Structure 1
Amino acid sequence: MWSDLPSDLLSNIFSYLSPDSLARARSTCRHWHAGAKAYLLTAIPPVPWDEPPWFLAMPMPMRNRRLSCYAHNPVHNNWHALSLHFLPDPVRLVGPIGSLVLIRPMNSTFLQLAICNPFSRQFRHLPLLNTTRTNPAVGVLVLDSSQDVQFPSFRVYVAGGMSEAPRGGAMYEPTLEIYDSRHDRWQIVGSMPVEFAVRLTVWTPNESVYSKGFLYWITSARAYCVMGFEIGTNTWRELNVPMADRLEFATLVRRNGVLTLVGGTCGQPACIWELGDGDDWGLVEKMPAELEMRFLGGKGSWGSTKCVGSDEAIYLYGCLGSGMAVWREVVDKGRWEWFWVEGCCSIGGIRVQSFPIKGVLLHPSLASSSLF
């Protein structure tokens, strides 16, 4: 019966499948592949997301050219291996853009960025920057996701970094450069304080958080501090961090549109603060003691902890095989709750080696995008 279903009916049935189930259905036979393809071509506008985001884990560093990344489906609570053979070079994960990820190919000393969809295996380099830069801070701003939540228009902000000096050698680059996906080009938009350029280059991991008109980065050196760029006025500012000189790890995320800080100190549970009026941080949550013990495994130190978050969830994680502590919104209960997610130790009965990872949260899609 299934092999005789008309393509339009088959496409309608496929519209109810999750991305991982749809991917398996596409590989069943030619008829199902055609039906799935027809659905993907006509699935506009996309269905609004009402499920929690997936956790996508990419090896770091990728110098040994691991050719897979791993995705956790929070609805079915299972892991999937995604082949990265379609990528021309090893890459480093920068951050999510809708259903895509912004990545940095590692075959170049200077910054080169690209976008890819690890689920549909689409990949494209962004144009080269106007100024060659080494190790700048990178930020992402989604311009308008109301029309296309899967593949929205976006801007990439690149600040600071090292560039070649006019008479040889290297210098800190005190300028800001922006890529706009609607025009597919980079533009230098102005200067920035040299001291901010230095600190963004030396002490800041690439990822950023956007909240209420500002892009924020957090320094990676103690004492931690937050550096913010106001997009409307092209001005910079600095924010203090609670317990800045005591935190063993600190990460910025965004929750319900508000800038949020996640951090932990030795002998204390991980804490979550939100930035309120007057640039004051307010404590909103602490990790439950039993979850802290399970996560740390008796180590007592948060030093190797990493964190990633979205408006819908916050994940604390370590290596691929280690478990993750998740604080997630439970919509039908109207509150946020803590969960434990087992690490990826095996897929389909095949053991997976544990290694350091960097994670992002996104809603997967197999649809085609005009960005490629």
Structure 2
Amino acid sequence: MVTHVSFHAGGLCPISMILLQTITSLVMAAGKSGSCKILESFESPPSKKPRKDLNREKLHFSIDIPEVEVMEQDIWKDFPEDLFEAVVARLPIASFFRFRSVCRKWNSLLNSQTFSQHCAEIPLGDPWFYAFTHDNVNVGAMFYDPSMRKWHRLAFKPAKMIAQPVASAGGLVCFLDIGHRKFFVCNPLTQSIKELPPRSVKVWSCIAVGMTLNRNSTTGGYNVMWVGGDGECEVYDSVKNSWSQPGSMPLNIKVSPSHNFQSQAVSVDGTLYFMQSDPGGIVSYNMDTGVCKQFIIPAPLHLSDHSLAEYKGRILLVGLLTKNAATCVCIWELQKMTLLWKEVDRMPNIWCLEFYGKHVRMTCSGNKGLLMLHLRSRQMNRLVTYNVMSRDWLTVPACIAPRGRKQLRIACCIAFNPCLTATA
């Protein structure tokens, strides 16, 4: 089934709107043909509706949907190429990949410099979540689009790589292999991937990883930083394609094994924030100045499985609050004046009642105010999204394997901003 195409037409002329109708019809035709699909949506089989409801829908559609106009070839064959790319750049991500299957020329847009410029002018939308399941690595990579509340999967098999996502920035995702020896950076949408050069410091212990966009270089790029369990650290600069040692963290900084990758670093204006343990608190590292700071912040009582999040410069803490047999997911915000955590929201009580008496574990992934929580126990395996601005808690629909097979179980996921033109 073809994903619905939504479009914001601010600033475009009427001829662009007509072009969009043409593109949409071609996208729908390509989606129905089933050829060369890059993304496929997961949807439940349609349920049979009563005849009364079907008649009501026919009446509704007959009123609201205008008659499709016939497109004259003499008019459209000389349509300006730059305006064409401007309209295509505003297609939803899932619809864009179906659009590419129409012809070779449209498929080559990803390599167009002008198309990349049009994409750069469009404000970033809601982040997506790049997830892996416990199933075979070749079919286990999926995307979740929170705005459409749909799962998508790769229609082709990615390269076999036993690694897990540890950080993201600018449409790119950073992976670390399970042996902690190799880093990879890739664009999950286009599957362009790059293996980073070997590190000069050989550390195989648990490490924390953060990623930011390079703000010091006029050519852009990104930085990847890892922090070892004993405070050692290194920074990779994609422009220089090399690792550097900015100096060790303070000796009393420890990365707890329980925080290994489960508490991802967050980035605010070029500064990375990591969680530390013993003593508890936060470590910040400014990528522009190289200044490292340590903040001793007492954690809330009865807290477990906690991780950092960020929204418009605000540092948030997400975790499980467990007392006696009762468990609830809570959200705290760091008060900059007092350096204390203040509770700002918690999961609805009716959901928390389902956790009563159960040994619940949680992992959290988020980006720019949208979080995905993975809650699991012996009796439960649930995914929930939380919107920091609207304070909405939503259950993520089940991800069903293709052709109506069993429900897939999520092993890990990471939030990223989908970008067609991001290159590693």
Q: CA-to-partner distance for each residue in 1:7-60, whole Å, 9 max, x for gaps?
A: 8265344223111111011123445435x4476752315133353211221236
Q: Where does residue 158 of structure 1 map in the other structure? A: 226
Residues 314 and 354 of structure 1, relative CA distance in 2, 3 Å threshold: same
Match of 1:345 among 379, 383, 399: 399
Instruction: Tell me if 1:143 matches 2:214.
Output: yes
**One-letter code aligned to 1:158:** W
Q: Distance in 1 between matches of 2:272 and 2:241?
A: 21
Q: Where does residue 332 of structure 1 map in the other structure? A: none
Q: 1:182-197, aligned counterparts within 5 Å?
A: 182-196=239-253
Q: 1:177-326, aligned counterparts within 5 Å?
A: 177-196=234-253, 199-200=254-255, 202-206=257-261, 207-211=264-268, 214-219=271-276, 225-231=280-286, 232=289, 234-244=291-301, 246-266=302-322, 267-276=326-335, 277-293=337-353, 297-298=354-355, 300-301=357-358, 303-318=360-375, 322-326=381-385
Moved more, 120-129 or 70-79: 70-79
Q: Name the TM-score, length of structure 1 as normaliser.
A: 0.77
Q: Name the TM-score, length of structure 2 as normaliser.
A: 0.69
Q: Where does residue 49 of structure 1 map in the other structure? A: 123
Residues 210 and 363 of structure 1, relative CA distance in 2, 3 Å threshold: closer
8 Å Cα contact 2:328/2:355 also seen in 1: no
Q: Secondary structure at the match of 1:17?
A: coil
8 Å Cα contact 1:145/1:153 also seen in 2: no
Instruction: Tell me if 1:328 matches 2:387.
Output: yes
Residues 50 and 30 of structure 1, relative CA distance in 2, 3 Å threshold: closer
8 Å Cα contact 2:172/2:422 also seen in 1: no
Deviation at 1:352, TM superposition (A): 4.8
In our comparison, the structure showing a higher alpha carbon Rg is: 2
Q: Where does residue 73 of structure 1 map in the other structure? A: 145
Q: Secondary structure at the match of 1:44?
A: helix
Residues 40 and 341 of structure 1, relative CA distance in 2, 3 Å threshold: farther
Residues 352 and 195 of structure 1, relative CA distance in 2, 3 Å threshold: farther
Q: CA-to-partner distance for each residue in 1:209-242, whole Å, 9 max, x for gaps?
A: 23477533235x8x88234034346444242343
Q: Distance in 1 between matches of 2:340 and 2:355?
A: 33
Q: Distance in 2 between matches of 1:40 and 1:290?
A: 51
Deviation at 1:132, TM superposition (A): 1.3
Deviation at 1:261, TM superposition (A): 0.3
Q: Distance in 2 between matches of 1:352 and 1:133?
A: 39
8 Å Cα contact 1:56/1:361 also seen in 2: yes
Q: Distance in 1 between matches of 2:218 and 2:351?
A: 39
More helix by share: 2
Q: CA-to-partner distance for each residue in 1:217-271, whole Å, 9 max, x for gaps?
A: 235x8x8823403434644424234325x12321111122121101122314321
Percent identity between the two aligned chains: 21
Q: Where does residue 28 of structure 1 map in the other structure? A: 102
Give the RMSD, CA atoms, in angstroms.
3.4
Unaligned runs of 5+ in 2: 1-21, 27-72
8 Å Cα contact 1:54/1:71 also seen in 2: yes
8 Å Cα contact 1:94/1:104 also seen in 2: yes
Q: Distance in 1 between matches of 2:268 and 2:90?
A: 33
8 Å Cα contact 1:141/1:154 also seen in 2: yes
Unaligned runs of 5+ in 1: 162-171, 330-334
Deviation at 1:100, TM superposition (A): 1.0
Number of equivalences:
337
